[in-house]
Structure 1
Amino acid sequence: MARRTFFSFHYERDVWRSAVVRKSAVLKPDISPEFIDASLWEESKLKGDDALRKLITDALYGTTVTAVLIGAETSKRRWVNYEISQSIERGNGLFGIYIHNIRDQHGNRDSKGINPLGPEFATYDWVNDDGYNNLSKWVEAAYDER
């Protein structure tokens, strides 16, 4: 069944790796990904914290699962942590995907980041756990665990 999934990630550092995950979801019939357009994000940053909170709230509306894409510095990002807390508050299924092994536009991998989720939430490695073929299973498992 299709699950509207919100992807939370450190935009400035991990947009390339995150696109690999998010674009794979577009190709799958059983996941309906939610995206935050970069231009909206940049515009909201200029307008302040209230605008960012509204952007996140609006993006989470109607979603049932949140996937946190864990890069080298994701756990340090205030807005990622806000997205996680809002996802928990709204009752979304929640899980993490380590994305450090995905090669960037220069062919480089990154260091493994700290998991910003609690131990009660499942985490996977996009490369080592075959995310392309398993993302829909992970989304469904997170939905069932909520």
Structure 2
Amino acid sequence: MARKAFYSFHYKPDNWRAAQVRNMGVVEGNSPISDNDWEEVKKKGEKEIQDWIDGQLRGRSCTVVLIGEKTAKRKWINYEIEKSWNSGKGLLGIYIHKLKNSAGEQAEKGANPFDSFTVGEDKKKLSDIVKAYDPPFQTSTYVYDHIKTNLEDWVEKAITIRNEYGK
């Protein structure tokens, strides 16, 4: 079954890296937004940003958080994680810091954005439930190939985990 994913990422530093993953064509993703369009959405205020995110999440079965150096604890990434989890969507992370950006640079590994959340009555850390995959390579092309080879399986696993965990 073709899955539809929402890609969550820190726009400014990781847009180039995120585009590489989104353009793999492994799972259908949300429509890319240009720099100008994103700036227009941001200018309209928080309600407009939240409405835009909610619209992008509609009809998606999974949210893929593309984890860069400064992704964790960002306000809108946190909103996307919380909204996705509470909506019963599959949720996973992929570290993308070793993919090269437009200048051919790699970045430092960022913190796990799921560490900031707890779920259930037992206050279990979301990072103990949701998988965050860190490709085991240093070379950008190998990292890319690893993500492309595994992304579909990771999405299916995330959906299974979320379904098993319940609402």
CA contact (8 A) 1:93 1:143 kept: yes
Q: Report SS of the residue matched to 1:96.
A: strand
Q: 1:35 Cα shift?
A: 2.8
Match of 1:124 among 124, 129, 133: 133
1:70 corresponding residue in structure 2: 67
Cα separation, 2, equivalents of 1:108 and 1:127: 18
Cα separation, 1, equivalents of 2:86 and 2:52: 16
- Whether 1:34 and 2:30 are equivalent positions in the alignment is yes
2:95 corresponding residue in structure 1: 98
Structure 1 stretches lacking a partner, 5+ long: none
- Whether 1:20 and 2:20 are equivalent positions in the alignment is yes
Cα separation, 2, equivalents of 1:36 and 1:78: 20
CA contact (8 A) 1:102 1:126 kept: no
TM-score of the two chains, using structure 2 as the length reference: 0.80
* Divergent runs of 4+, >6 A: none
TM-score of the two chains, using structure 1 as the length reference: 0.91
Q: Report SS of the residue matched to 1:75.
A: coil
Q: 1:37 Cα shift?
A: 1.2
Q: Deviations over 1:2-60 (max 9, x none)?
A: 11100000001100111111111x2x3xx211134134322110000000000000000
1:2 corresponding residue in structure 2: 2
Amino acid at match of 1:141: K
| Seq. identity, % | 42
Match of 1:82 among 69, 79, 82: 79
Q: 1:119 Cα shift?
A: 2.2
1:137 corresponding residue in structure 2: 153
Worse overlay, 109-118 or 127-136: 127-136
Cα separation, 2, equivalents of 1:127 and 1:107: 19
Structure 2 stretches lacking a partner, 5+ long: 115-126, 138-142, 163-167
Q: How many residues are paired up?
A: 142
2:124 corresponding residue in structure 1: none
Cα separation, 1, equivalents of 2:106 and 2:31: 24
Q: Report SS of the residue matched to 2:81.
A: helix
> In terms of Rg, which structure is larger?
2
